[in-house]
Amino acid sequence: MIRLYIVVFQMLGVLFANLLLTGDISVSVNILSQINAGQDLKVEVTLKKGEVSGFSRFQMELPPGVTATNIYSANADFSFKDQKVRLIWLRLPEDEDISFSFNIQCNERFKGSFDLAGKFSYIDNNERKTVDIQPQTLAIVPSPSIDANLLVDIKDFGRSALPQMGAPEGTLACVRQKPTWHDNNNEYIVTLLVNKESLKKFAKIEELVPPGYTALAVESKDGVFTFKDNKAKFLWMNLPVDPYFTVSYKLIPMKNTDIKQIAIKGVFSYIIEDKTQTINVIEKEVSLANLTPEMVKNILQQQTITPQLVAQNTMPTQPAVKQTVVENPKNTTEQASAIDPVKSANKLVVNKEVAVEPIVEVKPEVKIETKTPTIAENTLNVTAERKVANQNEVADLLEPQTGLYFRVQIAAGHKPVNMKKYFRKFQLDTLVLKEKHDGWIKYSVGSFDAYKVARDYRVHLWNTTSINDAFVSAYNDGKRITVQEALMIGSQRWYQ
């Protein structure tokens, strides 16, 4: 009789091993205990959402060498990146039970076993809550078509794969040939050599040029060239396949510009493990025309350049040139030039010559107007206001997060406001946080891994509140970047 109770208890344990309950919310994962190497295995997940209806996310982490593909996402935004399966809902379907599924597959040379674990996160009363999914062990059935001597234990593969994710070996460098003046065309030509080694994905060159010049691309090597606020930029989602290449642009002096004095400062940035690393552009008295591998080697041997992990957007500052911007009258929507600016019909033009960096978000910020108090009001309220400010300053500040993420900015002003009172009228369903940026106090909501989800939430605000000019902002490790750069870093699509 006791043995029967033990068997029943074990069966119940297996039945509920993957059922997690938090109040009336539960997540159950249905999956076999074995996976055939090189073949798909279906993972089925059922969510009993209870009263949860807003922003939610399911995440499951897979070991190196295991991939995932979507089957049915239940209206979620499905993604698989950095070995993480993510399904994100801006608003959950109305059904009480929500089911979704995806396939996982491990390399056909694998053997051994691995654990699957995950979590479901949601927002409740402006607080993020999480339901952890109990890990489940999957045994790998080796492929009969692979010689046993060629099989690799998945755990050994994971350990050996980690060192490969560091910085590429060799000499990463970006060298600028001293700018050459051409009297015939009244312009400088600036040429840069990029020795990228094994880099493949997102990279950027950013050059701060002196006031009084405009810039136009000469050779971009399939990169996106932009010029704005004295900064010339080359952006690549995918770098050229060659281990080294050159790009160039020309600097055209404006009227009364002293062409004898020119000094350029630049950086070359790239992504390693979702972290931005930056090296300075080094200017040298060299010729970058008709380069050979031996010539490149000699140029690089003159100085070793060590990459450093730095915050993004840390270019040296100089006074900006006063520019006249003529805006295309048709430019009334967010531009689809984030991924392919060349195809966009909506461009901004500086002095009718220079293409300005495509702007993904063109909606104006809400300017918060604050009433200037009288002397009597200041005398009565200053003490109370300082106490409240001291208590709320830290709680209301936007804390930096790691990695790439998006928020929706809803307002900005030069003077702080009482956030609870000011934003109460909008009846927002999420927490408003503030940050100081470029001389403004900016107010934003949400934190989204995918641009599409942030875009959808922006539309949700347009439709459900009186805020009609909210827009998406982007961050990388807590630093503001353009949405265009974020889309390139995250290899994400732009949505209008």
CATH code for the domain of 179: 2.60.40.290
Same domain, 136 and 272: no
At 106 the pLDDT is 92
Same domain, 282 and 388: no
Residue 330 within any structural domain of the chain? no
At 375 the pLDDT is 43
| pLDDT tens figures, 63-96 | 988 999 999 999 888 999 888 999 998 888 888 8
For CA atoms 155, 157, 162, 165, give the dihedral sign: negative
CA nearest 405: which of 460, 479, 458? 479
Where is 462: in which H helix or E strand?
helix 451-464
Strand partners for 129: 122
The encoded tokens of residue 452 equal 């599409």
Residue 421 within any structural domain of the chain? yes
Number of domains in the chain: 3
CA nearest 217: which of 237, 193, 191? 191
CA–CA gap between residue 334 and residue 360 (Å, rounded): 5
CA–CA gap between residue 473 and residue 94 (Å, rounded): 29
At 29 the pLDDT is 92
Strand partners for 136: 116
CATH code for the domain of 25: 2.60.40.2110
Residue 441 within any structural domain of the chain? yes
At 250 the pLDDT is 93
Same domain, 155 and 197: no
Burial category of 479 from C-beta neighbours within 10 Å (exposed 0-12, middle 13-18, buried 19 and up): middle
Same domain, 433 and 415: yes
At 159 the pLDDT is 56
Same domain, 283 and 398: no
Q: Which residues in the chain land under pLDDT 70?
A: 1-23, 126, 158-170, 273-274, 302-395, 496
Residue 367 within any structural domain of the chain? no
Dihedral angle of Cα 213, 334, 480, 175, to the nearest 10 degrees: -40
| Location of structure tokens 């999957």 | 138
CA–CA gap between residue 222 and residue 50 (Å, rounded): 50
Query: Torsion-angle region of residue 330: left (phi > 0), alpha (psi -120 to 50) or beta?
Result: alpha
Same domain, 155 and 235: no
Dihedral angle of Cα 290, 222, 216, 481, to the nearest 10 degrees: -130
Domain of residue 132: give its range.
18-165
CA nearest 459: which of 277, 333, 270, 279? 333
| pLDDT tens figures, 212-228 | 899 999 999 988 899 98
For CA atoms 71, 75, 80, 83, give the dihedral sign: negative
Same domain, 246 and 201: yes
For the whole model, what pTM was predicted?
A: 0.38
- Angle (CA) 287-262-308 rounded to 5° is 70
At 332 the pLDDT is 34
CATH code for the domain of 439: 3.30.70
Determine contact, residues 202/270, Cβ cutoff 8 Å.
yes
Q: What is the DSSP letter of 263?
A: -
Identify residue 302 by its one-letter amino acid code: Q
Same domain, 138 and 232: no
At 337 the pLDDT is 31
Same domain, 228 and 267: yes
Same domain, 127 and 246: no
Residue 410 within any structural domain of the chain? yes
Distance of CA 493 to the CA centre of its chain: 12
The encoded tokens of residue 324 equal 């006249």
Residue 340 within any structural domain of the chain? no
